[in-house]
Structure 1
Amino acid sequence: MDVVDKDGIHGRVVANGPPTNGEEQWIVEVEDRSLLVPVHALEPRGDEYFLPVRFADIETAGEGSTITVPVMEERLRVEKRPYEERVTVEKWVESHDEWVDLPTEGEEIAIERVAVNQEVDTPVDAHYDGETLVIPLFEEVVVTEKRLVLREEVRITKHRSQRSRPEKVTLRREEVAVKRDKQQPH
């Protein structure tokens, strides 16, 4: 049977020792020496015993020698302690789908070709006619003399449009569950 002292050093019970003052004792071998230990000083812990003092503080057992082993006594002290309550919080995310109708904006371009076929003296630069960009296209026409003819204009107009388009959107929401676990402090 093993005995462990308060420093964690292991010894082994090898025999019963001679009783002292009517108290049972065991002979415990630790490394290269034998010690007499009162049985009442040992605390059972599973398949071994605990000695609440150090083996080094106990004198070696010898014939006719007296061994002094500190004897421990437990005393009861009653006091109030604050009561602890544990709270476990679980958190998770739930998802659900909702349909939303979001207005979207975009631009559309309308291209209009306008035939002009008009002679001009000098080229005309691109210009705006309100919201419409007018890009003149010229062509040289061979005649007895060379003339600049405004053949056509390309008119580009921007129109704003707004459409509704149903779309599936996933929304998440966190949930919480609270569990109470009552526990006394140590």
Structure 2
Amino acid sequence: MTEHAVILDRAGQPGAVEDETGGRVRVRLPSGAVADLPESLVRRDGASLTADVVFADLDTDGPAVLVEAEEHVDVRTRTRETGRVRARVVTETRDEPIHASGWRETVDVERVPVGRVVTAPEGVRDEDGVVVIPVYEEVLVVERRLVLREEVRLTTRREPVPGPASVPLRRQHVEVDRLPPVDADGDAV
């Protein structure tokens, strides 16, 4: 900024800028008095300067100094305990009756005498759900023959067995207790 630039007040009265240092603007008022204005009261619009004061209000016998004051707000938070809660999960078990069917298998053993001469042994076989196990015996005759002495027949029967039964089922719920706040010593407040 060149020295002695023109600055206008809110009323449109001119003043001369003598110096700009340290965040202040020194202005020679129309009466010849000097005023130090904070830069926050000076607006710059391109090359022109405007003071946000009326120079006539600053006209004094000696130098006029405007003190700028600004307030700041400092907002802080602090944590304060207002209460506590205790939560615990409780599991309950109850027996739930169910109706389910099952099977019981029994095996009937039937021995069937055969007494038939065979030429070769036969293996175990299944005849319509009946397991047939051949039992052989060698018999000494003038000649040796293989005689099927008997067959053991195993028949499996399956019959449903209805009956009540129970299955344990579990269900959980949360119990919450409110407690008073505690100070730094651990005492309830």
Output the TM-score relative to the length of structure 2.
0.45
> Which structure dedicates a bigger proportion of its chain to strand?
1
Output the TM-score relative to the length of structure 1.
0.45
